[in-house]
Chain A
Amino acid sequence: NAGVMQNPRHLVRRRGQEARLRCSPMKGHSHVYWYRQLPEEGLKFMVYLQKENIIDESGMPKERFSAEFPKEGPSILRIQQVVRGDSAAYFCASSPQTGQGGIYGYTFGSGTRLTVV
């Protein structure tokens, strides 16, 4: 079991470019969550997806950010026209279910570190 796979591990983009972050959940997990982590600010929830559906995007910035989890393939977090303030570590987590049972199975990937220059 390869765990939650995120790639790339490091991504450098110039201001104005697009960043695409990929997340493959653990085998058997159908729930995917994206977080952003800034130094000394902890993990901030961004979006929760199931296959082909966005369940909760209450933490997503209204502009430039989008996420998808297609029927086939990894979940994608897309940031358009990146700015320096988007520099952060972005983590993906997956779980087999939601609710209390989901807490035990909640597994994080190693993150993608985005640097905007």
Chain B
Amino acid sequence: QKEVEQDPGPLSVPEGAIVSLNCTYSNSAFQYFMWYRQYSRKGPELLMYTYSSGNKEDGRFTAQVDKSSKYISLFIRDSQPSDSATYLCAMSATGNNNDMRFGAGTRLTVKP
């Protein structure tokens, strides 16, 4: 079993839809949870960062962490074609970057 599981998709939605992206994990020591966005032929860029459980909102993006279920989510409201990218979840037990474990990434396409 992988430490971090993420459905690779692909996921295709119409413009304006609400997108839900999810990851599950097995290591209960994870405390730091990140979502990265990766455009084609580019490196990942940090989108959201959450410590421990709870919700965090930033514009159209909401990150949720449920440590009891070992489940994290990223919601995108009013999705735009420019949101088309691969979204990777990442998590760490210590907050140290070399401790970070990534999901496989979900490829999202938002159609105009």
> Nearest Cβ in chain A — how far from B39, in angstroms?
10
User: How many residues of A sit at the interface, in one of the four size bands?
Assistant: 20 to 34
Which residues of the other chain, A, contact B103 by a CB distance below 8 angstroms? 42
A93 lies within 8 A of B46 (CB): no
Is there contact, CB below 8 Å, between B32 and A100?
A: yes
A binding-site residues for B, Cβ under 8 Å: 4, 31, 33, 40-45, 48, 55-56, 91, 93, 95, 98-100, 102-104, 106-111
**CB-based contact B6/A42 at 8 Å:** yes
Report the stretch among B12-20, B53-61, B69-77, B94-102 that lies at the interface. B94-102
Min CB–CB distance A59 → chain B (angstroms): 8
Tell which of B42, B46, B51 touches A110, judged by Cβ atoms closer than 8 Å: B42
Complexed CA–CA distance, A44 and B104 (Å): 10
Contact across chains for A42 and B102 when beta carbons are under 8 A apart: yes
In Å, the complex CA distance between A48 and B41 comes to 23
